[in-house]
Amino acid sequence: MTFEQEGTNVLQASKPSTVVVFMLVVLVELWRSPATGVDTLDTLETIIITGASRGIGAATARRLAGPNRRLILLARSEDKLAALCDEINAQGATAEHLGADLSSVELAAEAASTLVERTEHVDALVLNAGMSNDKLFDNSTMDDIEYELGVNYMAPVTLLHSLMPLLEASGGSAVFVGSLTALMPFPSNATYAASKAALLALVRSLRVEMDESGVHFGIVLPGATETEATAGKSSIVPHMSADKVAKAIERCLDNREGVIIPGLGNRLAATFFQEFPELSEKLLKPLKTKLIPGFDGYSKS
Ligand SMILES: NC(=O)c1ccc[n+]([C@@H]2O[C@H](COP(=O)([O-])OP(=O)(O)OC[C@H]3O[C@@H](n4cnc5c(N)ncnc54)[C@H](OP(=O)(O)O)[C@@H]3O)[C@@H](O)[C@H]2O)c1
């Protein structure tokens, strides 16, 4: 059976039960009351945030800065981290920075060793640093792909693995920043989407495997967000602010939640992409250059 035939069959045979489930999800999302918290935020004293030099990571640092809290901010741009630490410290909070390149297991392990030397106590690890090659698969080298997977998947896994004893000792949290693209096709960024899907699978499995460990694992899956990463990329999809994503990260820590997709539109899109995979691909194919930020279509260079 060809793919087109498969898609047609799915369209024709869309089960009424699937439509009912989708409508129920829509209703629940529309009337959902805010999650009731377990209010752990005030107990978090030491929080490490990767990729804090700008965008979602910097917004998260600003949001989490508070009295009796120590923030340790990581990224490569130490000048930007230093400026952010000055801003946060001037408000009476405590922030310090660590210049670190997180593009390989070796470099991430080095950063983890420095963190362990600096602090014997960690309450939360926000694994936010990430990047995308923004390249078609056909035009990517294996070095491109390895680098992207290094920053987006292997580095957070290395940091988590190295710092797990400290999180187990504190009963702390590890919150990853994934992406809505873990749940949907993302042309021109297929390997980026795969790296984010890997994080989602990791978190979901660890939540069950380590239920008795006392460690909380969560992941926030933002849709398009206004940051330097999306600046200048045309798309008709509305972008949310970095602070809105930071707020979701804060909520994930506070309530010890599992998977958070910030924004009703993004939650509905996620449900649609999962419930109707063939139909969503059929719709996305003719619209992809309008919907996907920065995607100009397929061309082999
Ligand atoms: N913006 C969006 O639309 C969007 C949507 C979904 C998910 N996300 C995810 O959200 C997270 C933050 O993205 P953003 O939009 O805030 O991006 P951004 O503005 O480009 O910031 C990325 C951060 O990651 C750090 N980083 C990148 N490569 C690194 C490396 N090799 N080593 C250490 N740090 C590195 C950067 O710092 P330095 O350059 O100083 O090292 C920067 O602080 C990423 O995981 C991204 O995949 C973003």
Q: Which domain holds residue 61?
A: 46-263
Residue 301 lies in a domain: no
> Which of 179, 244, 261 for a ligand 1 pocket mutation test, highest count of atoms within 8 Å of Cβ?
179
Residue 75 lies in a domain: yes
Whether 296 shows a pLDDT value over 60: the answer reads yes
189 lines ligand 1 (CB under 6 A): no
Q: Whose CA is nearest to atom 43 of ligand 1?
A: 51
Give which of 197, 294, 246 is closest to 60, Cα–Cα.
246
Helix axes 242-255, 55-64, angle to 10 degrees: 50
What's the pLDDT at 11?
A: 44
Tell me the pLDDT band of 168, cut-offs 50, 70 and 90.
very high
Find the 51 Cα to ligand 1 centroid distance in Å. 6
Q: Whose CA is nearest to atom 19 of ligand 1?
A: 55
177 lines ligand 1 (CB under 6 A): yes
130 lines ligand 1 (CB under 6 A): yes
What's the pLDDT at 300?
A: 76
Residue 109 lies in a domain: yes
Residue 121 lies in a domain: yes
State pLDDT tens for residues 116-166. 999 999 999 999 999 999 999 999 999 999 999 999 999 999 999 999 999
Tell me the pLDDT band of 5, cut-offs 50, 70 and 90.
very low
- Angstrom distance (rounded) from CA 186 to CA 126: 24
Residues pairing with 74 in the sheet: 50, 98
Give percent above pLDDT 70 in the chain.
89
Q: Whose CA is nearest to atom 17 of ligand 1?
A: 229
Residue 5 lies in a domain: no
Neighbours of 189 (CB within 10 A): 25
User: How does the average pLDDT of the chain come out, rounded?
Assistant: 90
Q: What is the CATH number of the domain that holds 206?
A: 3.40.50.720
State pLDDT tens for residues 175-226. 999 999 999 999 889 999 999 999 999 999 999 999 999 999 999 999 999 9
Residue with tokens 């009703």: 264
What's the pLDDT at 195?
A: 98
- Strand extents, DSSP E, 6-61: 46-50
State the total domains in the chain: 1
Q: Using DSSP, state whether 46 is helix, strand or coil.
A: strand
Residue 289 lies in a domain: no
- Angstrom distance (rounded) from CA 192 to CA 96: 30
- Angstrom distance (rounded) from CA 172 to CA 218: 11
Find the 132 Cα to ligand 1 centroid distance in Å. 9
Residue 113 lies in a domain: yes
pTM above 0.85, yes or no: yes
Higher pLDDT, 87 or 3: 87
Residue 31 lies in a domain: no
The answer to whether 104 and 76 have CB atoms below 8 angstroms apart is: no
54 lines ligand 1 (CB under 6 A): yes
Tell me the pLDDT band of 20, cut-offs 50, 70 and 90.
confident
